[in-house]
Amino acid sequence: MRRSLPEQVLYETRRHGIVLAGSLSKALVLAAAGAALVALGWPYSAGGVVVMAVAALIALRAVWRWDRTKLVLTSDQLYVVSGVLRRRSATVRLSNLGAIELEQTLPGRLLGYGTLIAGELEVDFVPEPGELHELVAGLTGSRLAA
């Protein structure tokens, strides 16, 4: 009887920090508006406090979701796990993997992120996608499609 080797984690990362830009800029604008309302004095200050609390919740939610989304490459599969209360996982087995593609926009090339497409799995905002692309291609023996 042939025994298979245990699965090993070869690469693990979060999505690129650029995913936080939209939510954090929205929270910053709301916080500034809330501070302006607080500066106007009563009764506007009560609304300003509420607006600043909403801004803080938006920022907290964005960072929490970013922190809870992981991209993992093991010796057997590539998967993305996300979610806090309801966990989601998308997986593709390396043995079933065909073409591996890497897409990078100009901002993505400048800031170091891209989209990795491996079979049915498409993961956007992957940090240093070239490194992961080469790792996956090396494990599957497939041709690089960049």
Percent of the chain at pLDDT above 70?
Answer: 93
* Tokens 């650029």 sit on residue: 18
pTM greater than the 0.85 cutoff: no
* Tokens 């809870």 sit on residue: 68
86 pLDDT higher than 50: yes
Q: What is the mean pLDDT of residues 12-40?
A: 97
Q: How far is CA 26 from CA 51, 59, 92, 108, 143, in A?
A: 12, 8, 34, 21, 41
Of 87, 86, 118, 79, give the one whose Cα is nearest residue 102.
118
Specify burial of residue 81 (Cβ count, 10 A radius: 0-12, 13-18, 19+). middle
**Amino acid 5: pLDDT:** 64
| Among 51-60, 110-119, 137-146, the range of highest mean pLDDT | 51-60
* Tokens 């245990």 sit on residue: 6
**Amino acid 2: pLDDT:** 44
144 pLDDT higher than 70: no
Contact 34, 48 (CB under 8 A): yes
Going by pLDDT thresholds of 50, 70 and 90, the confidence category of residue 4 is low
Contact 100, 140 (CB under 8 A): yes
**Amino acid 142: pLDDT:** 59
